[in-house]
Amino acid sequence: MDKRVGFIGLGIMGMPMARNLLEAGFEVVAYNRTWSKVEELVTEGAKAANSPRKVAQECPIVVTVVTDSPDVEEVVLGKDGIIEGVKPGSVVIDMSTISPKVTRYIAARLKEKGAHMLDAPVSGGQWGAIKGTLAIMVGGEAEVFERCKPVFEAMGQRISRVGSNGMGQTVKLVNQILVVGTLNAVCEALVFAAKAGANLETTISVVSGGAAASWQLENLAPRIIKGDFSPGFMVYLQQKDLRLLLETASEMNLPLPVTSLIHQMYRSLEASGEGCEGTQALVKVLERLAGVEAREK
């Protein structure tokens, strides 16, 4: 396959993902609004482009990893956007987490130009992006997915096509329901254990070996009890995902009572200036309610 891959969005997730493409032997052509990030990647072997349009002109596959639905619309459909430079047969792979409805709209606009779109949001946070172990859920045509599989394999491990355009984003929102619900359970359990005087490290070790095991328990609980709230994924980004999730649920007239409550709990963290901390900071909301900290003694 053609080894040229465009990459737009060099943030907390995008930069390590682009680095993994370089390490896998792809020729990466990069664009980012903060130009210093592009310059940093150029020192590692990438080429620079001065607009999304230019990236699309140079590369048959373009990956986007930006923050929200309006950002993807601007990068793809806006002035000097991908759509102004895209060629028939090219593929735009959006690996952001955005609205399924907006995804389908962008895919339809690209189709008018003879180009394809895959929505391919990821799970695994910054740590998974750095290690190249992301789970990637892909919506789009099967033939296009197969063609782009080597690109995905450079960035992730569990790579699945889950349906047509918009279904990648839909499954990612399913993922987020499970992630926040499970993390809230971990946080409640730790606060309960702390209040009861249990040894937190031992407790985590014991319950991790049974039916309560989860990624959040294994990876985030040890950070919580050490007071480590550095982000693998930031609170404000999780809030964006939950907003998308609840908007989509509202369109379906679907109640999600527990997820809605956790959205409000994260809002409490944003209100107290903790929106850039890792999502495990959710425990702080419960600690404030309980008057106890779940930390190693």
Q: How far is CA 153 from CA 58, 158, 230, 273, in A?
A: 22, 9, 27, 37
* Whether residue 2 has pLDDT greater than 90: no
* Whether residue 208 has pLDDT greater than 90: yes
Catalytic pick among 37, 54, 172, 284 = 172
Which fold, 171-290? N-(1-d-carboxylethyl)-l-norvaline Dehydrogenase; domain 2 (1.10.1040)
- pLDDT tens string 183-207: 999 999 999 999 999 999 999 999 9
- pLDDT tens string 71-101: 999 999 999 999 999 999 999 999 999 999 9
| Residue 174 in tokens | 């399913």
Q: In angstroms, how far is the first alpha carbon of the chain from the final one?
A: 55
Residue 63, by phi and psi: left (phi above 0), alpha (psi -120 to 50) or beta?
beta
Flag whether the pTM goes above 0.85. yes
Q: Which CATH superfamily is domain 4-164 in?
A: NAD(P)-binding Rossmann-like Domain (3.40.50.720)
CA dist., res. 289 & res. 261, Å (int): 14
* Domain ranges within the chain, ordered by starting residue: 4-164, 171-290
* Whether residue 297 has pLDDT greater than 90: no
149 is a catalytic site residue: no
- pLDDT tens string 5-64: 999 999 999 999 999 999 999 999 999 999 999 999 999 999 999 999 999 999 999 999
